[in-house]
Every structure is written in C-alpha cells, then in structure tokens.
Amino acid sequence: MHAKKNMCTDLRAKILKTAGELFFKFGIRSVSIDDICNDLHISKKTFYTVFKQKDELVVELLDAILQKKEKDYRVVMEQECNVLDMLVQNFKKLRGRSIEKHLAFGYDLEKFYPELWHTHLIKMKELDQTYTAQMLQKGILQGMCRKDLNVEATAILISNMVPDTLKELMKLSMNTAQRIDYILDILVHILCNEEGLNYYQYTILEK
C-alpha cells in the first residue's frame, strides 16, 4: 500500500514538474495532455489516474508555485544576515529568470483561467506583503531601514510596485539585469536610512 502511494506521489510530482516546464516554454493553451504524456513516456490512462483533467493540473501547479515561494521566503528569513544582503539575494534570483516567459505564463492564465489567476494573484500578493513586512521590521531593528516607515503600507506598495514596474520596463531598451538592478536601487533609496545607504553603497556595490 505504501509503495503504491509513494509511486502515485512521485508520478504526481513528475507530471507537475514537466507540465510547469512545458507551460512556461510553450504556453498553457498550446500544451495538451498528450504533450505532457509524451514527454514523460506515460499513457493518458496513467495521467488520468492522477489528474481528472487539465484544469485540475493547473490548479495544483499554481498551489505548488505558491508553496515553493513560501518555502523560499522562510529560508531567506531564517538566515542570520543583514537585511540588505537578503534583499540583494532575492533580486539576484530574479535576474536569473526569464521575465518574458513568466509574463507570458501570466497572460495565458489571465486569458484562459481568469478566476484561477485572480485567486492566485491575491494569494501571491498576500504572501509577498507578509514577507516584505517581516523584512522591513528586521531592517528597522538592524538599524538599516528608516524608523518612520509605515511597515504595512510600505509592504503593500512594494508588492504591487515591483511586478507592475517590471512589466512597464519591458517597453524600454533594457535587459533583465538592468531592469532588476534599477528597481533594487530605487527600493534601497526609499527604504534605507543613512547607515543602510552607506552599507549598500560601500559594501554591497563594491563587492
């Protein structure tokens, strides 16, 4: 019984991983269940023992993305390091991603699964705001962030500003690294006090 359950869990994880990769590469609408099965060398009958339909797969994939992001946030927050180092570390991760593919994935979801996408966005923003508020509080305690910040309001501002600004910057002749570095620099100058700015300027930028 346990072996069968483990096999089913492993298969579910493989389907989710493969589906996610194909969705990001080719678009959700363009990828069929046949495509996923062919890539995994499994039959459609096997697929349907795990997921009843494609919609169910999309729902679980979005949940997996949310759980992964929450886990990543926890790992970062548990680190005993300067809050500015944490911020830069997060933005470096963004530099390594294909923003265009992530935006295309979002456009597909918004077009073909509007309710799912809306719910997912709400959950993601709530997660971003919670993490950002914790980061700001930590920064204030470390003496790097301004004490006069309204933490809750600033967390809401940042969680909305970053993705929206990234979309708009796509219209300019900037590469991904330049877009990410620009937003990071603006955030640091909004959030930090003199000590934080000095640390950013003379420790982080000069590494």
pLDDT at 7: 56
CA-nearest of 155, 156, 162 to 140 is 155
pLDDT single digits (tens) 63-120: 999 999 999 888 888 888 899 998 988 888 777 666 777 778 888 999 999 999 999 9
pLDDT at 165: 92
What does residue 172 show for φ and ψ, rounded to 5 degrees?
A: -95, 160
pLDDT single digits (tens) 10-69: 899 999 999 999 998 888 989 999 999 999 999 999 999 999 999 999 999 999 999 999
pLDDT single digits (tens) 190-201: 999 999 999 999
Beta-carbon contacts of residue 172 (< 8 Å; ≥ 6 apart):
none
Q: Residue 192 pairs with which residues in a beta bridge?
A: 145
Residue the block writes with tokens 């990543």: 72
pLDDT single digits (tens) 127-157: 999 999 999 999 999 999 999 999 999 999 9
Beta-carbon contacts of residue 8 (< 8 Å; ≥ 6 apart):
49, 50
What average pLDDT does the segment 180-185 reach?
93
Reported pTM: 0.83
Outline where the chain has alpha helix (H): 2-26, 33-40, 44-48, 54-77, 83-95, 99-112, 114-141, 151-169, 176-191, 194-199
What distance in Å separates the CA atoms of residue 154 and residue 194, rounded to the nearest whole number?
18
Average pLDDT of the chain to the nearest whole number = 90
Length of the chain: 207
pLDDT at 90: 83
